[in-house]
Structure 1
Amino acid sequence: MIGIISDIHGNYPALQAVLNRLDQLGASRIICLGDVAGYYCLINECCEALRERDVFTLMGNHDWYLVSDTECPRSNSANKCLDYQRSVILPDHLQWLRSFPQQATVEGIALVHGGWNDPLDEYLKPCQSYFDALAGNRFASGHSHVQILWEGEGKVYCNPGAVGQPRDGDPTAAFATFDGETFMLHRVAYDIERMQSAMRSAGFTDYFSENLSHGTQIGGRISAY
């Protein structure tokens, strides 16, 4: 069994809870679909945890903003945290982020962060015609922060949801597993207050992390496909 995670966004307590649950489930390998960076302040802790386990990790749009020293075009809140992360990230972790590929195929699953038209920043809405245009029959991506398991004719797509900032109204950390044949979606509770306290200690107001208690974007919006 392999674990599939995405959109950690510097939320180390959520990542810890997901990794612990994957250990309990007996995962032999973990794949990350990108966005280790962005939104929350514990970027070094997240990098260290993933590197210790040799987690294969793709480039996400927030990872790209961080390593390329560019801004997110949609979120001033994200940019403030990216600025913070640039000020604290260890050089070795930054170099590791730069090494991420934008797409790959692992265990027979085609992988990107966003979608196959734009690996970094496509908000993919699965449908038969989309996947019929792609080689392969198993696909996984993140980016939307919303879990989905879609099955069409000869094609299966999984979005594991977000570890670090779920946006579907459920505050528990989201991830998926694949046993060689079947994807399964999972959720696990974590210590949200610990992450919120870390943000306060880093100088952020509660606006930047109160959404974690409600499973929304910063500002309170719930997302859906």
Structure 2
Amino acid sequence: MIALISDIHGNYTALKEVLKEIDLMGIDTVYCLGDVVGYYSQVNECCEELRKRGIVSVMGNHDWYIAARSFCPRSQSVNDCLAYQRTVISEQNLQWLRSFPVFMTVGDLSMVHGGWTNPVDEYLDPSEEYFARVEGKYFASGHVHRQFATQYGDKVYCNPGSVGQPRDDDPKAAFATFDGENFFLHRVEYDIIPVGELMEEAGFSGYYYGCLRTGSKKMQW
């Protein structure tokens, strides 16, 4: 059994609760589907927790923005957060982000952040037709912050949802597990108040973290 996490986005409070649940399940192997950074203030803590545990991550679009000194073409609010994170991220964590692969394969499981047309920044619209063009049987990606697992013909796809910023109308942090044949979806409650307090200390208003209360999308992607 392995665990799949994704879209942590600097939300260390949520990450700690998810990893605590994974530990209680006795799962030693965890993979991250990208976007360790972005949005929230504890980017170093999130990077260091994954580094300490040896959790391998694929490259997410927010990871790329920081690693490549780039920016988001879709959202000023995203760029506001990125500008702050560039001032606080450590050089060690920056170099770690730059080491991320754009895809991983573990056994029969293929993993990317976005999709198999654009691994880093595709907003995947999964279908039987889509996966008929992709080699493999089991697939997992993040990016859209919505948790689900569905079979498309003889292919099985899972989005584990977002640890740090759910957008499927459920504010609980999300992750998935995979036993080699089946995906299982999990949610974990956590306290969002410390996240908001740290964002306020960093100079951000409730606009930037208010969506955490409802698990709905209030900021642009």
TM category (shorter chain) comes to over 0.9
Structure 2 runs not aligned, ≥5 long:
none
> For the Cα contact (< 8 Å) 1:3–1:29, is it kept in 2?
yes
Which consecutive segments of 4 or more residues in structure 1 shift more than 6 A? none
Matched residue, 1:101: 101
TM-score relative to the length of structure 2:
0.97
Correspondence list, 1:16-95, <5 A: 16-95=16-95
Is 2:204 the counterpart of 1:204?
Answer: yes
For the residues of structure 2 that align with 1:11 and 1:78, how far apart are their CA atoms?
Answer: 15
Deviation at 1:119, TM superposition (A): 0.5
Deviation at 1:134, TM superposition (A): 1.1
SS at match of 1:80: helix
Q: CA RMSD in A?
A: 1.2
**Aligned-partner residue type, residue 67 of structure 1:** A
Deviation at 1:211, TM superposition (A): 1.1
Matched residue, 2:176: 176
For the residues of structure 1 that align with 2:84 and 2:98, how far apart are their CA atoms?
Answer: 18
**Aligned-partner residue type, residue 162 of structure 1:** S
Matched residue, 1:128: 128
SS at match of 1:130: helix
Matched residue, 2:143: 143
Cα displacement string for residues 81-106 of structure 1 (whole angstroms, at most 9, x for unaligned residues): 11111000000000000000001101
Matched residue, 1:213: 213
For the residues of structure 2 that align with 1:183 and 1:77, how far apart are their CA atoms?
Answer: 33
Structure 1 runs not aligned, ≥5 long:
none
Deviation at 1:135, TM superposition (A): 1.0
> For the Cα contact (< 8 Å) 1:192–1:213, is it kept in 2?
yes
For the residues of structure 2 that align with 1:93 and 1:71, how far apart are their CA atoms?
Answer: 18
Moved more, 49-58 or 145-154: 145-154
SS at match of 1:171: coil
**Aligned-partner residue type, residue 73 of structure 2:** P
For the residues of structure 2 that align with 1:51 and 1:112, how far apart are their CA atoms?
Answer: 19
**Aligned-partner residue type, residue 27 of structure 1:** I
TM-score relative to the length of structure 1:
0.95
Deviation at 1:61, TM superposition (A): 0.3
For the residues of structure 2 that align with 1:152 and 1:81, how far apart are their CA atoms?
Answer: 36
Cα displacement string for residues 102-132 of structure 1 (whole angstroms, at most 9, x for unaligned residues): 0110132001000000011111111111111
Matched residue, 1:154: 154
For the residues of structure 2 that align with 1:202 and 1:81, how far apart are their CA atoms?
Answer: 10
> For the Cα contact (< 8 Å) 1:126–1:150, is it kept in 2?
no
For the residues of structure 2 that align with 1:118 and 1:135, how far apart are their CA atoms?
Answer: 15
For the residues of structure 2 that align with 1:107 and 1:40, how far apart are their CA atoms?
Answer: 33
Percentage of pairs with the same residue: 55
Deviation at 1:152, TM superposition (A): 2.2
SS at match of 1:164: coil
Matched residue, 1:193: 193
Deviation at 1:31, TM superposition (A): 0.3
**Aligned-partner residue type, residue 129 of structure 2:** S
> For the Cα contact (< 8 Å) 1:5–1:32, is it kept in 2?
yes
